[in-house]
Amino acid sequence: SYRKGGYHAVRMGDPFAAGRYIAQRKLGWGQFSTVWLSYDTRSANYVALKIQKSAAQFAQAAVHEIELLSAIADGDPSNSKSVVRLIDHFKHTGPNGQHPCMVLEFLGDSLLRLIKYNRYKGLDLSKVREMCKCILTALDYLHRELGIIHTDLKPENVLLVSTINPAKDPVRSGLSPALERPEGNPNGAVTVNINEIKLKRKAKRALAKIASRRDSMGGVPSPKPERSLDGINLQCKIVDFGNACWADKQFAEEIQTRQYRAPEVILQSGYSYSADMWSFACIAVELATGEMLFTPKGGQGFSEDEVCHSYFSFVLFSLLGSSCLNDGASGEDASEGKVIHTPKPMLEVEGLKLIAIGGARSKDYFDRHGDLKRIRRLKFWPLDRLLVEKYKFSESDAREFSEFLCPLFDFAPEKRPTAQQCLQHPWMNRGNSSQKESVEENLDVGMSNLRINVAK
Ligand code: ADP
Ligand code: MG
């Protein structure tokens, strides 16, 4: 990729924009770009420098991304909407061509790294709520105020806000040469936040050791300290607007990363803001359980092309409301959900019919009777049961969390709550009684957020 039209090779200390920015180390990369921690000599601050590949289609994509990021920055002068801030942009000419460059505020680790760091165990619901609040704030701003659909929400594209100023505190930021590994971090971002968490935990462990020594003299051993994120205030921001679009100027039919893809996108029946809400719900579950909710895989008789088919079936059998499935229930396996027959015809399921009618790809999934092709028996594992049985949630936590999330998994896109409605949901405001009144007042906010028309 480091050839004409491709990435620009960067070495530590390279100057950009007539010497204003000095490259420090690689933070990460994507299909289109490499991202470098850089020192801004004018503001004496660290920034993230995103250097795009130079070929025409990448340069074009950067122009589009800059347009969106500029609108985002203009509409949010106080930088409080949980979306990454564009600070500057310019072009840089190198041996591989002319590269559009974006200067972004420097953020920390991605939620994917946090999930990995937590050994795929899932975070406390109070932490999940903190992250949800940031993501929803960002989505409400993008959708309602700007008319932008992100189209690629996933844990990699949500970064923690770096709590440390690397210029002032290089050791704690993980940027000190002593802590730095020569190859940097294979998965991208500097482990700013995770370093902080590690240090706090270390301090806690030391305290616990002292306490247990004291206890053992008194005879009562204290339990091992929990691996929790207590006392660490986490905030995050949405990044990567490389695929984002104005809702009224869509250009791609196939959007989103498969695991976070909404059913109307799979069936290609048109999409709007509500496709982001589907992905948001998938992320919320993943944060709470540590595992992806939907993991479409090939194999087992499914070709590469049919992966989405198996995925779609999985979506269906995981989430269909019990009301439409009562008739077909047959057999039970507590550890793996209930095995059921599909309701006949499948397309009578409310919401599904709506998106299937206009879906350019509906024929790939449904036969002429409206039944799911090839799939006869499905396993049914409603979200609240999944949370209790597989992830050991308490009954009340599981009930409340799935009451918040299930409406977001509605097949009918326009029935999914908006980001604004989610922010007002009781689950989001648990432990915050002063908000109760506004919740009730605002429950009536209009439900329809679908801008496209499904063809009859
Ligand atoms: P692409 O459009 O090429 O996918 P991204 O915008 O997703 O590029 O950035 C690639 C990677 O660079 C991200 O996954 C992340 O690890 C890192 N990164 C991007 N923006 C920032 C930022 N503002 N601060 C810190 N790291 C960032
Ligand atoms: Mg990316």
Give the C-alpha distances (Å, rounded to integers) separating 267 from 160, 239, 301, 311, 352: 33, 27, 21, 12, 10
Is 50 annotated to bind a ligand? Reply is yes
pLDDT at 444 over 80: no
The better pLDDT of the pair 440, 41 is held by 41
Over 50: is that where the pLDDT of 90 sits?
A: yes
Residues 6+ apart with CB under 8 A from 186: none
Q: State the pTM of this model.
A: 0.81
* Residue whose C-alpha is closest to residue 24's, from 35, 34, 13, 10: 13
* Residue in 35, 57, 154 to alter for ligand 1 test, most ligand atoms within 8 A of Cβ: 35
Q: Residue 229 pLDDT more than 80?
A: no
Ligand 2 geometric centre to CA of 85 (Å): 16
| CA 72 – ligand 1 centroid, Å | 17
> Rounded to the nearest whole angstrom, what is the distance from the C-alpha of residue 305 to the centroid of ligand 1?
29
Q: How confident is the model at residue 316 (pLDDT cuts 50, 70, 90)?
A: low
Distance of CA 455 to the CA centre of its chain: 30
3-state secondary structure 416-448: CCCHHHHHCCCCCCCCCHHHHHHHHHHCCCCCC
Farthest CA pair distance, the chain: 78
For residue 188, which atom of ligand 1 is closest to its CA? 16
Q: Is the Cβ–Cβ distance between 194 and 113 less than 8 Å?
A: yes
Each residue's pLDDT tens digit, 247-305 = 999 989 889 988 898 889 988 999 999 999 999 999 999 999 998 887 665 455 545 44
171 to each of 12, 37, 114, 120, 412, how far by Cα in Å? 19, 16, 20, 27, 50
Residue 282 vs residues 15, 177, 278, 320: alpha-carbon distances, Å: 41, 38, 6, 15
Give the Cα separation of 121 and 167 in Å (integer).
Answer: 33
Strand partners, 94: 97
Q: Whose CA is nearest to atom 6 of ligand 1?
A: 240
- DSSP notation for 330-375: ---BGGGBEEEEPPSSGGGSTTHHHHHHT-TTHHHHB-TTSPBSS-
Indicate which ligand has the atom closest to the C-alpha of 240.
1
Task: Convert the pLDDT of each residue in 43-87 to its tens digit.
Answer: 988 999 999 999 999 999 999 999 999 999 999 999 999 999 999
Check if 31 has its Cβ closer than 6 Å to any atom of ligand 1: yes
Residue identifier of the C-alpha nearest atom 15 of ligand 1: 28
Q: Is 380 in the pocket of ligand 1 (CB under 6 A)?
A: no
* ipTM exceeding 0.85, yes/no: yes
Examine the pLDDT at 3 and tell me if it is beyond 80.
Answer: yes
Are 110 and 188 in contact by the 8 Å Cβ rule? The answer is yes
